[in-house]
Every structure is written in structure tokens, then in C-alpha cells.
Amino acid sequence: MNPELDYLDLIDLLSERHLLLRRITEKLWNDSSDIHISNSEWFIMARIYKKQPTIADISKSVDISRQAVHKFIKSLQSKDLVEVMNVKNNNKEKCIKLTLLGEACYEKNAALKASLVKKVADKIGEQQVAFLKDLLKSNWGLEEAYKE
């Protein structure tokens, strides 16, 4: 146990663990690749992987401003990680997909994250990891109670 975490409530504990895992995964990636990809860019790439959503769909699903999403997509495009295309029968909308390089990077990062999850499971147990995932995926009733 970490005594520094003893006085944190649930929300702050989740935040601390999230930040730690994000820092570690970003470092693992950057230590093994010449292509720097920010956490926000990974977040967007996760919404695109094996799909071709519109930019508007991505903006709605990531809780990042539309302007920021456009900025991240331009950055991903400049790294040759995504391709922006016109939507069929709609001149206004654009859809986005990962390039072959983008898919390869995404899959390599998924493997890095899986190795990190394995280390966590080795430390706390696979059943505990599965239980934690189930808890985090469960409906906590907050979306309905605190709609914007």
C-alpha cells in the first residue's frame, strides 16, 4: 500500500492511477518509436481504429472541443497516421480512417499496454484485474443522474 494515497477519495484515486498509467504508456511508446503521439491523439485513434467515423462523430465521443479534434486530426495527418476523406453523398462531412502506418502504431501501442496490464495482473492478480474492469464497465447510474 502507498500511504500517500490513503487520504484520497475514490475520484482522486481513479485520477491518480489514470495519470500514472497514461504517463507510463506514453513513455513506453516514446522510448520505442520515433513518432511522438500524445495521449489525446491516442484517444482519437482509439475511436477510429477499424472504423471510418465522421469528424463530428469523433468530436461527440471524446469530450474534446471540435476545434481541438480538428487540430489533433491535422497533427495525426501530418504524421501519416490518418487519412481524411469525403463522406459519400455528403460534401459537408469528412470521415477519417487510420492509414496502414496508423494501424501498425495503434496495434504496437495496444501490445505495449497489454504488457503493462500483465504487470499489473502479476502484482494484484488476474481475477482482481478482471473484477476492476467489470466494475469500471458497469453502469454507475451517473449519466442519467447528472445529464448536462
Read off the pLDDT of residues 45-96 as tens digits, 9 standing for 90 and up. 999 999 999 888 898 888 888 899 999 999 999 999 999 998 877 778 889 9
Q: What is the pLDDT of residues 59-71, one digit of tens each?
A: 888 888 889 999 9
pTM of the full predicted structure? 0.84
The rounded distance, in Å, linking the Cα atoms of 112 and 101 is 16
How far is residue 64's CA from residue 58's CA, in Å, rounded to a whole number? 9
Q: Which three cell numbers stand for residue 86?
A: 469525403
Calculate ∠ Cα 45-54-78, nearest 5°.
Answer: 50
Which grid cell sits at 38?
A: 500524445
